[in-house]
Amino acid sequence: MTFLVWALLACSAAYWALQLGSRSLATPSQALPVLENSAPAVDLTRLLGAPVVAAPQAVPAQESRYKLLGVVAPKSASAAQAGEGVALIAVDGVARTVRVGASLEDGLQLLAVNARSASIGKDGAESFQLQLEAPTTPATGALPAAGPSPVNLGGRAQAQPMPVPMPRFQQPQEQPQENPLQRQPPQQPQVDNQGNPVN
């Protein structure tokens, strides 16, 4: 019995030694304290029948309405200063051909074109610049090893013509001609005077 009491006392002392020697874990920075009186973060107006108010849509940036599809840029500096050049620009998905200096819409003009870009602005001041999309890289791969070719590359072998079977004509067999001189008259039976045949 005394042993059982000392064992319980040792277990209790070990438990409290572990409790006092351990440190508490740090609270994460994103943890929020639980408040009993906090209101639920649920919109109850829809549950009670209030009309749904549409959230205001973000107005797209002006540059996003335009897409540069192609450019015909002048090659010489003098032609560029003269205002030459044409750009193919899609406005809201509709492609339009615009010359340098021509109005695009809403007072916007095509100011200049380069090899892969076009400058658009108002009253000669550049508002934004459109860039051509980078060309896609061509698909590459490895060809299978070449095998022997069944084709004669040095020239075509002349095809031997197929022999055409000739029709066989049967020559008419010559009928032996009878010589009228060799023809003998049929023999008449010999009869006696009274017309009885003689054997």
pLDDT tens-digit profile of 112-138?
A: 888 888 888 888 888 888 888 877 777
157 is written with which tokens? Answer: 């072998």
Query: Cβ–Cβ contacts within 10 Å for residue 123, how many?
Result: 7
pLDDT, greater one: 18 or 56:
18
Predicted pLDDT at 10:
92
Q: Take residue 40 and report the two structure tokens written for it.
A: 């639920």
pLDDT category of residue 18 using cuts at 50, 70 and 90: confident
Tens digits of residue pLDDT in 149-186: 776 666 555 555 666 676 676 666 666 666 655 566 66
% pLDDT > 90, the chain: 3
Which carries the bigger pLDDT value, residue 16 or residue 55?
16
Instruction: Report the alpha-carbon distance of residue 168 to residue 27 in Å, rounded.
Output: 114
Q: How many CB atoms lie within 10 A of CB 194?
A: 5
Q: Each residue of 70-112: pLDDT tens digit?
A: 888 888 777 777 778 888 888 888 888 888 888 888 788 888 8
Tokens describing residue 28? 């994460």
**What's the pLDDT at 102?**
86
Can you say how many angstroms the Cα of residue 105 is from the centroid of all Cα atoms in its chain? 35
Distance CA 112, CA 77 (A): 12
Q: 83: number of CA atoms within 13 Å, CB side?
A: 9
